Amino acid sequence: MGILDKVKSLLPKRKPPELKNNVPQEKENIRKTFGKFCNANHGTTDGKLCAKCTAVLSTVLIKINRCPYGIGKPICEQCETPCFGENFTKDFLAIMKGGQKKMLFSHPVMTIKHKMASLGAEYAKIQRDKKTSDKQKEDAERVKAKFANATRSPKTKSKKRRKK
């Protein structure tokens, strides 16, 4: 083992970012929100769902299990690449929006947690966008500096020449 490897092995290893599995909680929230919405709008009771809401919900739950983002997924309402299909996505968003107001009264803690998750996803997105714009700025500065160096040297030379 070389010295470099030894030094490397002594350095603290960078911790992988912690991933919390919020998927079961999100599913539970979606299920309950669907129940609230359907009971209020489609004449069903006891959190049971009508045929249409059942179809939307089962599609959503299947798709969540196959989510390409894994357990680190953003909540479905915030997803930039919704995978439910155009119509199911539209239905899903309408049901979640409509059911959430009722959820706040019957399951306030769950609703607030869900809201926090959506804010978290937004925050991560802002941070990511900021990072890329910072990098772009850095790149622009680097190019500028290079350009300035390239133009400066012949100028100073020509000044010297004139003095002579």
Considering the complex, state which of residue 48 and residue 125 has its C-beta at the smaller distance from Zn ion: 48
| Residue 157 is a binding residue for Zn ion (CB under 5 A) | no
The residue type of 11 is L
CA 29 to mean position of chain CA atoms: 18
> Do 99 and 36 contact (CB within 8 A), yes or no?
yes
Q: How far is the CB of 42 from Zn ion (least distance, A)?
A: 3
The residue type of 54 is T
Q: Pick the binder of Zn ion from 8, 21, 42, 141 (CB under 5 A).
A: 42
CA 89 to mean position of chain CA atoms: 17
The residue type of 60 is V
| Residue 56 is a binding residue for Zn ion (CB under 5 A) | no
Local structure of residue 46 (DSSP, 8 states):
T
Label residue 70 left, alpha or beta by phi (over 0 means left) and psi (-120 to 50 means alpha): left
Q: How far is the CB of 88 from Zn ion (least distance, A)?
A: 14
| Residue 48 is a binding residue for Zn ion (CB under 5 A) | no
Considering the complex, state which of residue 87 and residue 132 has its C-beta at the smaller distance from Zn ion: 87
| Residue 38 is a binding residue for Zn ion (CB under 5 A) | yes
| Residue 95 is a binding residue for Zn ion (CB under 5 A) | no
> Do 39 and 46 contact (CB within 8 A), yes or no?
yes
| Residue 64 is a binding residue for Zn ion (CB under 5 A) | no
| Residue 50 is a binding residue for Zn ion (CB under 5 A) | yes
Considering the complex, state which of residue 30 and residue 38 has its C-beta at the smaller distance from Zn ion: 38
Residues forming the site for Zn ion (CB under 5 A): 38, 42, 50, 53
